[in-house]
Chain A
Amino acid sequence: MDAPGPGFEFEQPIYDLHCRLRELDEQSEKTTEVEDEVRGLRREIADLTKQVYSDLSPWQTVQVARHKSRPHTVDYLSLAFDEFVELHGDKHFGDDQAIRTGFAKLDQFKVMIVGHEKGRTYKEKSACYFGCSHPEGYRKAMGKMRMAAKYGLPIICLIDTPGAYPGIGAEERGQAQVIAENMYAMSRLKTLIICVVIGEGGSGGALGIGVGDRVAVLQHAYYSVISPEGCAGIIWKSHEYASKAAEALRFTSDHLKKLGVVDDIIAEPLGGAHRDHHQMASRVKMYLIKTLNELSTIPVDDLLQQRYDKFRRMGVFLESGESAAEATV
């Protein structure tokens, strides 16, 4: 285990146990006592990890969702899918690296993948602007999704972005326009759509590929109207209040489910998805297969009606004389 970096101070006690374990492992002579201690330590590590990760604060959750080793779209593509045939370009301006699209096979299903990609190396990260898509990314996504609908392929959207890119070119090429158009078109697309927030669900940038028949979120992912730093900047005029903002925004998986914004939560391996890519990918795979089986029996007109109703229900307000208490969730 790596030493806990900034933001991961909560992992320090787990790390300390790991260090002790390594010390024991390195001992040349393994007495029964040492072996007993090793066994005890392993159990202790598992228990402590479980305890720490079952009680993450919202701000800690954000750190986990952004963890440098957290599995990204490309990891799921290689671990959960049997094949990925990338389809590039928006046929208009360029090939945005922040959204990857293409054919993929999953069990017996042929699907269209649309996924944010944040990159792992510095070079990859800067090529895709750390997962912040420009308008051409959303246009590319929409183009491939339309094609999927034409040929009856289910669509799987993997959401993982800090937000749509804020820049001059992005504004010139219609960032607001493309996000609006994607939601508009996805709501009527005649094929089934499953969206999974695998890391960061950053505002409009996430929602631009986030309208579907099922929306799931990984246990330690988050989905928010604004980044905690952005919210802190507006309210407290300082990013240092980000943890307070994270608390106030109620964007962790349990709240998202309670608010009716996501349908399902996919549990992460012990200690977060970054600890075990294989297990995480296999859980996502199982979820997708189960949901594909379930949704593919529904006639497309019913599917569209249900998709509409699902988003139609979202929101909390008071109507004629209700008191505030009745409307809180």
Chain B
Amino acid sequence: MSQAAAKRQKRGVPEGLWQKCPGCQETIYSKTAEERLNVCPLCDHHFYVSARERIVQVLDVGTFEEWDADLKPADPLEFSDKRPYVEKLKSEQKRTGLNDAALTGTGMIRARRVALGVTDSAFFMGSMGSVVGERLTRLVERATEQDLPLIIVSGSGGGARMHEGILSLMQMAKVSAALARYGEAGGLFVSVLTNPTMGGVAASFASLGDVVFAEPRALIGFAGPRTIKATIKIELPKGFQTSEFLLEHGYIDRIVSRDKLKSEIARTIDYCGK
């Protein structure tokens, strides 16, 4: 196996006919996992799913209408490390088929119209820069105007995107402020946390759901485990910063496996009369 393939498998991205599951270390038939919404048939490990796939999994067939697809990232800092940010953006765009890390729009869940946002952890680690912040803010504002239930599925290992500097940090405040207005207007926000949801994404919209769901065994937290380890210089407890850890400490409402996600969202909307 090439090094690149090994690296990708570690992140749980299915590739080829067979793949090794990072949950149970067994080699499984990719097609079987795909049929189960990218969940391991042996151990229930939840693999990565792209934003587009997620939309298909959550919405009624053919009902998605994308919003603000024409927004594209810029390079306000003219950020460059080993490679210029604009070049990296281009290669991420080519690799993922997305122009930034979030897709937003409207569609139906069991015949209920909703506003849906999904971040894709494969694009710049799902980090939030100006485009993600702006798309989500517009999504929340439209959900407010049209009185739609709001669902945001988060996947972000990157938090606020470093390459757009302080402007990325400010997106946290921008989206949170829009959610505060939506909440005051009586909106229902269901936040779904997937592996991983960290940093500035966890510390803003992802934690602000009226109801917060998490996929099993997702990594969720503010500071990265490596940063914490480097600071406190002791081993981290087993299961630290997982969905189960957050449930135990009272920060999420339910752990929901992927095959139940759509029906759990529909039921919540139903209970809240939205």
Q: What is A's interface to B at a CB cutoff of 8 Å?
A: 164-168, 170-177, 179-181, 183-185, 187-188, 203-204, 207-208, 210-211, 223-226, 230-231, 234-236, 244, 248-251, 255-256, 259, 261, 307-308, 311-312, 314-322, 324, 327-329
The complex places the Cα of A310 from the Cα of B37 at a distance, in Å, of: 41
Question: With contacts A259-B167, A261-B166, A314-B170 known, is A320 near B70, CB below 8 A?
Answer: yes
Please give the distance in Å from A238's CB to the nearest CB on chain B.
12
Cβ-defined contact, A251 with B232, below 8 A: no
Give the residue of A204, A249, A312, A320 whose beta carbon is less than 8 angstroms from that of B199: A204
Contacts of B177 in A (CB 8 A): 183-184, 187-188, 211, 307-308, 311-312
Cβ-defined contact, A225 with B176, below 8 A: no
Contacts of B168 in A (CB 8 A): 225
Contacts of A235 in B (CB 8 A): 81-82
Return the 3 tightest CB-CB contacts between A and B, nearest first: A166-B223, A315-B130, A327-B74
Residue B42 is within 8 A (CB to CB) of chain A in the complex: no
Cβ-defined contact, A176 with B77, below 8 A: no
Residue B243 is within 8 A (CB to CB) of chain A in the complex: no
Contacts of A315 in B (CB 8 A): 129-130, 133-134, 167, 170-171, 174
Q: What is B's interface to A at a CB cutoff of 8 Å?
A: 70-82, 86, 129-131, 133-134, 137, 160-162, 164-174, 176-181, 183-184, 199-200, 202-208, 220-224, 227-228, 231-232, 236-237, 240-241, 249-251
The complex places the Cα of A94 from the Cα of B131 at a distance, in Å, of: 38
Cβ-defined contact, B86 with A324, below 8 A: yes
The complex places the Cα of A313 from the Cα of B64 at a distance, in Å, of: 28
Cβ-defined contact, B204 with A319, below 8 A: no
Please give the distance in Å from A207's CB to the nearest CB on chain B.
6
The complex places the Cα of A314 from the Cα of B82 at a distance, in Å, of: 27
Contacts of B220 in A (CB 8 A): 176
Contacts of A322 in B (CB 8 A): 72
Question: With contacts A170-B223, A175-B203, A177-B207 known, is A248 near B228, CB below 8 A?
Answer: no
The complex places the Cα of A184 from the Cα of B231 at a distance, in Å, of: 28
Cβ-defined contact, A204 with B170, below 8 A: no
Cβ-defined contact, B176 with A187, below 8 A: yes
Cβ-defined contact, A203 with B169, below 8 A: yes
Cβ-defined contact, B240 with A223, below 8 A: no
Please give the distance in Å from B21's CB to the nearest CB on chain A.
27
Please give the distance in Å from A46's CB to the nearest CB on chain B.
33
Cβ-defined contact, A224 with B223, below 8 A: no
User: Assuming A176-B220, A224-B166, what are 14 further A-B pairs, CB within 8 angstroms?
Assistant: A164-B222, A174-B249, A176-B206, A183-B204, A225-B168, A235-B81, A236-B82, A259-B165, A312-B178, A314-B173, A315-B133, A315-B170, A327-B74, A328-B74
**Most chain B beta carbons < 10 A, residue from A176, A181, A210, A259:** A176
Cβ-defined contact, B222 with A204, below 8 A: yes
Cβ-defined contact, A181 with B208, below 8 A: yes
Give the residue of B74, B81, B184, B224 whose beta carbon is less than 8 angstroms from that of A316: B74
Contacts of B250 in A (CB 8 A): 174
Cβ-defined contact, A316 with B76, below 8 A: yes
The chain B residue with its CB closest to the CB of A236 is B81
Please give the distance in Å from B238's CB to the nearest CB on chain A.
12
Give the residue of B71, B78, B221 whose beta carbon is less than 8 angstroms from that of A328: B78
